[in-house]
Amino acid sequence: MTAAVHVAAHKTEALLFFTLLQLAVIVLAARIGGTIALRIRQSAVVGEIVMGILLGPSLFGLLFPDLFQYVFHSGAPEPMQMLSQIGLVLLMFQIGLEFDFSHLSENRHRKTMLWVAAASLIAPFALGYGIGQVSAPILSPGAHPGASALFIATAFSITALPILGRIMMEFDMTRTSIGVIAISAAAINDVIGWLLLALITTLTLSNFDAASFALKVALVLVFFVVSWFAVRPLMKRILHRFDARSGALTNNLLGIVLAAIFMSAMITYQLGIFAIFGGFMMGVLLHDEHAFVATWRARISPFVMVFFLPIFFTYTGLRTNIGSLDSSAAWGWCVLIVFLATLGKFGGAYLAARATGMSRIESKILGIMMNTRALMELIVINVGYDLGVISQQMFTILVIMAIFSTVITSPLLRRWLPRIGIPVPPGSKPFPRTPYQQNG
């Protein structure tokens, strides 16, 4: 018995050692990546995403394979997986806290939001399905063409709600009308996208049961109704009971809020639309408790941003391998897919915004914001890759597409936002504009 206890303790200490080693590398690398990104006038989140990819087999594993194996594969992966998911749930809660949905009380804003949400879902889905059908025999020859096309279409359609929200926070756009329209459209877009993912996964694995799917949709709607009309008043009473309106955030109140976030995430996981939406929903319920929001932002948010989020980026990067694109033809497919994905998202949102009366520059801003995919898309393609309907090459191409769509967001926002009266962040300057760009 003593020997068994000693062996178990040794394994636990070894697991702790390698987990701490990975955390030290990840946190420092994320700070370096974020600092470099800010210096080149990118959003810090872009540098953290790219650094997460570079820590995987695409660079670190390629240049230093033995060291890479020692750092990231000497211990079990489960601790990092769980930490990454917890961090994402907390980030979604913070994003929900930052929104001011009062802008949507204006009919023009509601109409724009719905049109942009629909167009930025339908147009890229159609383009993604078409290119998926054509490319499947070449890039994913062992997969069912229809299933592969459906996963690619969903990846084209998704908007990275957490990353878009974080970029908006950095640009101080969360309480502007155009920011609320964009994030609300993205939220609608992503809920439909996750339902599509559930549907497509079901179609891939077995025959689709329409009654079961309809029941899942109904349960999600019930969850939203109950959250707003029952959970929201209860949480507000709890915050007032602990004097949160004065800016207080006691240990007991923090514990209750964290438990509520996690329980909400557990419910949405059980409903099949992923745990992150539970965190987001809880944030939305409390978004108008301004003193609580300010205190959370000052005390808790920095730790989530610095510690938890880079873990998620790096965990995803460990599954990405740029070296799988080993021919000019593969890179040609990559360019085509990135172009079509951008055309569908940006073009659909732009045309929808123009049709509802927004200016050309406002429509461009909405288009580029809806085009931000980042790592939410990687959730979709990881499912497809695990199911065998997306090959390693197609997986890598879609990773590149996700990074590209995120990288171009901040520069274009810095170029366009001052033209509608929204200043760029302190210390940043908009890029020089040509006469054509000044005319929209």
CB atoms within 10 A of CB 105: 8
For residues 56 and 50, the answer to whether their CB atoms sit within 8 Å is: no
Burial of 329 (0-12, 13-18, 19+ CB in 10 A): exposed
Separation CA 139–CA 326 (nearest Å): 12
Residues of the chain with CATH 1.20.1530.20: 82-438
For residues 420 and 440, the answer to whether their CB atoms sit within 8 Å is no
82-438 under CATH 3.30.70.270, yes or no: no
What pLDDT score does 212 carry? Answer: 67
CA 352 to chain centre: 23
User: For residue 350, what pLDDT is reported?
Assistant: 95
Q: Which pLDDT score, from 0 to 100, does residue 27 have? A: 92
Q: Which three-class secondary structure string do you get for the chain?
A: CHHHHHHHHHHHHHHHHHHHHHHHHHHHHHHHHHHHHHHCCCCHHHHHHHHHHHCCCCCHHHHCHHHHHHHHHCCCCHHHHHHHHHHHHHHHHHHHHCCCHHHHHCHHHHHHHHHHHHHHHHHHHHHHHHHHHHHHHHHCCCCCHHHHHHHHHHHHHCCCHHHHHHHHHHCCCCCCHHHHHHHHHHHHHHHHHHHHHHHHHHHHHCCCCHHHHHHHHHHHHHHHHHHHHHHHHHHHHHHHHCCHHHCCCCHHHHHHHHHHHHHHHHHHHHHCCCCHHHHHHHHHHCCCCHHHHHHHHHHCHHHHHHHHHHHHHHHHHCCCCHHHCCCHHHHHHHHHHHHHHHHHHHHHHHHHHHHCCCCHHHHHHHHHHHCCCHHHHHHHHHHHHHHCCCCHHHHHHHHHHHHHHHHCHHHHHHHHHHHHCCCCCCCCCCCCCCHHHHCC
Q: What is the pLDDT of residue 433?
A: 40
| Residue closest to 185 by CA, chosen among 121, 124, 114 | 114
- Report the pLDDT value the prediction gives residue 105, as an integer from 0 to 100: 57
Q: Please list the pLDDT of the chain residue by residue as tens digits (440 residues).
A: 566 665 666 788 888 999 999 999 999 999 999 899 888 877 777 788 888 888 888 888 889 999 999 998 888 888 888 898 898 889 889 878 876 555 555 566 778 888 999 999 999 999 999 999 999 888 888 788 888 899 899 999 988 777 787 788 778 887 788 888 888 888 788 778 777 876 777 666 554 566 666 777 788 789 989 999 999 999 999 998 888 777 778 899 999 999 999 999 999 888 766 777 788 889 989 988 888 998 998 889 889 888 988 887 787 777 777 877 878 888 999 999 999 999 999 999 999 999 988 899 999 999 999 998 876 777 788 778 877 888 888 888 998 898 899 889 888 998 898 988 888 766 544 434 433 233 33
Query: Torsion-angle region of residue 176: left (phi > 0), alpha (psi -120 to 50) or beta?
Result: beta
pTM of the prediction? 0.73
Asked if 316 and 51 count as a contact pair (C-beta separation under 8 A), the reply is no
What's the token pair of residue 140? 């994913």
Q: What residue type is assigned to position 139 of the chain?
A: L
Amino acid sitting at position 313: F
- Report the pLDDT value the prediction gives residue 124, as an integer from 0 to 100: 95
